[in-house]
Structure 1
Amino acid sequence: MEHIEREAMEFDVVIVGAGPAGLSAAIKIRQLAIENNLPDLSVCVVEKGSEVGAHILSGAVLEPRAMNELFPNWKEEGAPLNVPVTEDETYFLLSDTKAQKMPYWMVPKSMHNEGNYVISLGNVVRWLGQKAEELEVSIFPGFAASEILYHEDGTVKGIQTGDMGIGKDGQPTHNFAPGYELHAKYTLFAEGCRGHLGKRLIAGFALDRDADPQHYGIGIKELWEIDPAKHKPGLVMHGAGWPLSETGSAGGWWLYHAENNQVTLGMIVDLSYENPHMYPFMEMQRWKTHPTIKQFLEGGKRISYGARAVVKGGFNSLPKLTFPGGCLIGDDAGFLNFSKIKGSHTAMKSGMLCGEAVFEAIAAGVAKGGDLAIARVTEGEDHFEKELVAYTEKYNNSWLKEELYKARNFGPAMHKFGTWIGGAFNFIDQNIFKVPFTLHDLKQDFAALKTVDASTFKPNYPKPDGKLTFDRLSSVFVSNTVHEENQPAHLKLTNPETPIQVNLPKWDEPAQRYCPAGVYEVMENDDGSKRFQINAANCVHCKTCDIKDPSQNITWVTPEGGGGPNYPNM
């Protein structure tokens, strides 16, 4: 395609992603700008979802610590934290019919939920979006950040939003509209877990040079409306064991009673699993047949579905947070606290800390003679520091670092020792005394997968009944996933031959199973040969393929802005 002339827009700050981290950063910057008489300080947030909250997926139980700091009067201001936790239960599923409820004293303190709230994170993010707009943050939903822009000296200059109206052949169609260039003094990347631009920044600036490999899980969630007689608002249930125990896979599950006779339930499967025959989506489906779970769902109706990778490496896997011209915040950096199974409050806090550093740097630059509402100057004296080292300093002196440091051994213990011994280790580490050493998990998740020859056990996955258990296509339907059909595939294969020639014989092409949306299929041609089919329109943007492909042959890039799932109340 020929060179395209693009319109450029200039801001003080550009933020990629309207999630809890990105919006908290935007809000904090504008709060400080107004308080300190710099009302012209401009902040822009781009969001690839069709609206703020459309791509947000989480359990979720919110610890309100960061919300209390950002909006001390959030109750009076109408934040949708309406269901306080009233009961807190933890189970170990011993088999497909048996369960052991854990005494509360045996549950790691990090998993206690007194004072927390059962929420829809999507609705909380929508509320944060409204508060940001009240503070005159410019939010552009439906605009996906597709490229990072750089100054000649390598400093990040901003981002380019994706072109609209590119056909499958890579050429402009009749409704082509070029993407915009958004330039800024500082660009903050808040794309969530495995952000495709964050991934490039981490590699390009070697931000993970001193960190352990990042680790991930795939979270698969459903929202149900249940019989009012079975509904217990504020009941929070967590557990582990069956069915993942059959394949020796790590992970856990949740079931939360929210408002309006709804329950949110799901499973997180660690992407360090070894068995290539394991099928995370179907593990979640058969888990629902356990009496502990089924009792709430019988007579109810599933109303939504979604899936998203979660980042779980924690403190040991955090990359360097800053680079010239910008920062990583939220799960683009990996701030989720796995010991709490929570990342919303940590994402918010990281955005707030970064927002403080951004404001202070801009205010200092203005005091030296710099201008507001424009990007960094390319010639002459630039009054604004290039790298926000103050963000790292603020993190190092915050409760966020303290919290993540306390949890640093939680994930590695589960990976190294398994559910029982790892659980005992974490009970001691979280409840009795802090161990004086740090465990490390240095194996990449994709490298953990065994070949079909080395792992012959195949779980039995019953056919879905369409009432309690479902298939992937009907699930994608209730995720409201829509993409423009005539566009280049956003799932890129480094080598198109690898799925059939390498992955199929070695691992029975695991993309057929690890994808929770049925994007990848191995099809048979008329002559009996096999081909790899990508149903990109089904993609729910979970990023699992980018993480788990054993050949590291799949790269997720953003499709046209506005495409993907549209999650209600998720």
Structure 2
Amino acid sequence: MEREAMPFDVVIVGAGPAGLSAAIRLRQLAAEHDRDLSVCVLEKGSEVGAHILSGCVIEPRSLDELIPDWRERGAPLHTPVTEDRFLFLTERGARRLPTPPQMRNHGNYIISLGNLCRWLAEQAEALGVEIFPGFAAAEVLYDEDGAVRGVATGDMGIGRDGKPTANYTPGVELHARMTLFAEGCRGSLTQGLFERFGLREGVDPQTYGIGIKELWEVQPERHQPGLVIHTVGWPLDAHTYGGSFLYHLEENLVAVGFVVGLDYENPYLSPFQEMQRFKLHPAIRPTFEGGRRIAYGARALNEGGFQAIPHLTFPGGALIGCAAGFLNVPKIKGTHTAMKSAMVAAEAVFDALARDEREPAGYPEALRRSWLWDELYRVRNIRPAFRWGLWGGMAYSALETYLLRGRAPWTLRHREPDHARLRPAAECRPIAYPKPDGVITFDRLSSVALANVFHEENQPPHLRLRDPEVPIRVNLARYDAPEQRYCPAGVYEIVEEEGRGPRLQINFANCVHCKTCDIKDPTQNIVWTVPEGGGGPNYPNM
């Protein structure tokens, strides 16, 4: 069946904070200049916010610029930060350390980023933006000159065998004069753009972390609205980058999360299990005693910072937000930077369209003149300094922050991608994790149930192997199948079949779209592609 085509001036892929901010800014500019400008936003989640997961403490700087009267409009920023604590944990103890300047949160808010995106979508629609949730952009469209001319959504109703079922519906082509990619960290279409246009040539490899988050309703006496706690140290060893957060929201809610840098070396490490045993620490466990866990999720995040930012534009469009990697790692914040990049890009796109140009060439230079560029430049050396371990990284960070003030005459480089850091299992020690108690700690399958994951099971698996022999021949033999442990949703299992030996089983229906497998697979044999639109987690307020 022939695909229907819909024309727009601008198509935006992804209804996260970047995509929605770009849409809002474009329509604001159209109104200011009395110009007609059609803007469409595609969202692969079942609704706006369904796939959004973040800590999240937001710095409202970009929101102030985009919608100055957001308070009067009822933006869901209800809990201002009242106190910061920074703890170093040993196995049994906790020592309070001075809070680094980047982690001080005076004037910031603890929020649900999913709920903020839902509110931003309302503001966008009120300005005339068309938002299509439940439609996954599965293909980039190119014109005869090789420029991007839009995207196509995935076909619906394709069976596991790759053949159309009775419910088959072809995808829709969305043609655009300009297309903005706001897919978030490790977007599948963005990866293809990197290759086609050489957008990563001459920049450092992107490096990543995985963030695992739970939302708890705790006992009132254990709740302190506005309290922000960050920890480093136990349960991770001194050579593995990572740490935790506890954010006390409104209504007795506490968000707890654990982040592990995906440049870790030990294939026996399980980020999910590290998060579970973290909650058993004597300084942490009391918060959750008597409470109940109400939500769970996981998501990869960019940690490469300034030196890993790719080339941002190409004929027909640009990259914005976490698709390009604007997270401020020392701050542990990326929403304000994602939004700012989107607003700057929107202004460049608006100008380019007025001149009938095919590429928003003014976007990178405008970004370099913005506060975002200076902010990321000043902290560029802190994350790569942790190659020297926890103590070396903290010592260098203090030097960079207090003495050099981000103006060091050198830039530390990211030397290799995360998947290349994994060591053979024979060189590493297995990690003994405690069994879940079902009260404070849990297994992965009961956790995935709280993510409200749904995929139509009669569809081709969206997690694909370049070579089906590699998981056993290489990953199992050399690394003891680390995909069994780095996946926070139990997607990958090594199963033994009588008379046939081991094989890798992919339970794609469990996938929470965190993208960790696409990043950490040591042979880069796993390829994450979009499933049918609307599939994946359905986070209510993460």
After TM superposition, is the score higher than 0.5?
Answer: yes
Distance 2:284 2:62 in 1: 32
Where 2:267 maps in the other structure, the secondary structure is coil
Contact 2:296 2:450 in 1 (8 A): yes
1:28 maps onto 2:1 in alignment: no
The Cα of 1:108 is off from its aligned counterpart by 2.4
Output the amino acid matched with 2:28.
Q
1:84 maps onto 2:76 in alignment: no
Output the amino acid matched with 2:270.
Y
Where 2:256 maps in the other structure, the secondary structure is strand
TM-score by length of 2: 0.99
1:453 maps onto 2:426 in alignment: yes
Tell me the equivalent position of 1:399.
371
Contact 1:108 1:426 in 2 (8 A): no
Tell me the equivalent position of 1:370.
none
Tell me the equivalent position of 1:195.
187
Relative to structure 1, the CA distance from residue 386 to residue 423 in structure 2 (aligned partners, 3 Å threshold; closer, same or farther) is same
Distance 1:437 1:113 in 2: 28
| Deviations, residues 139-181 of structure 1 (Å, cap 9, x unaligned) | 0000000000000111001000011000000011001110000
Tell me the equivalent position of 2:58.
62
The Cα of 1:528 is off from its aligned counterpart by 5.7
Contact 2:352 2:359 in 1 (8 A): no
Distance 1:18 1:130 in 2: 12
TM-score by length of 1: 0.94
Tell which deviates more after alignment, 423-432 or 335-344: 423-432
- Residue among 163, 173, 178 paired with 2:170: 178
Tell me the equivalent position of 1:419.
390
Tell me the equivalent position of 1:118.
110
1:217 maps onto 2:214 in alignment: no
Distance 1:490 1:53 in 2: 21
Give the count of matched residue pairs: 540
Distance 1:16 1:280 in 2: 29
Structure 2 counterparts to residues 29-428 of structure 1, below 5 A: 29-38=26-35, 40-95=36-91, 97-103=92-98, 107-245=99-237, 248-362=239-353, 364-365=354-355, 384-414=356-386, 416-428=387-399
The Cα of 1:432 is off from its aligned counterpart by 2.6
Distance 1:177 1:319 in 2: 36
Contact 2:352 2:358 in 1 (8 A): no
Distance 1:486 1:239 in 2: 43
Distance 2:433 2:308 in 1: 34
Distance 1:339 1:386 in 2: 36
Contact 1:16 1:190 in 2 (8 A): yes
Tell me the equivalent position of 1:436.
409
1:558 maps onto 2:530 in alignment: yes
Distance 1:357 1:542 in 2: 31
Where 2:284 maps in the other structure, the secondary structure is helix
The Cα of 1:427 is off from its aligned counterpart by 1.4
The Cα of 1:361 is off from its aligned counterpart by 1.7
Coordinate RMSD, CA, aligned:
0.8
Runs of 4+ aligned residues of structure 1 deviating over 4 Å after TM superposition are none
- Residue among 466, 485, 491 paired with 1:494: 466
Distance 1:259 1:199 in 2: 38
The Cα of 1:210 is off from its aligned counterpart by 1.4
Tell me the equivalent position of 2:7.
10
Unpaired runs of 5+ in structure 1?
Answer: 366-383
Where 1:157 maps in the other structure, the secondary structure is strand
Output the amino acid matched with 2:7.
E
Contact 2:18 2:342 in 1 (8 A): yes
Contact 1:109 1:431 in 2 (8 A): no
Output the amino acid matched with 1:125.
C
Unpaired runs of 5+ in structure 2?
Answer: none
State, as a whole percentage, how many aligned pairs show the same letter. Answer: 61
Contact 1:108 1:431 in 2 (8 A): no
Distance 1:504 1:533 in 2: 13
The Cα of 1:431 is off from its aligned counterpart by 2.4
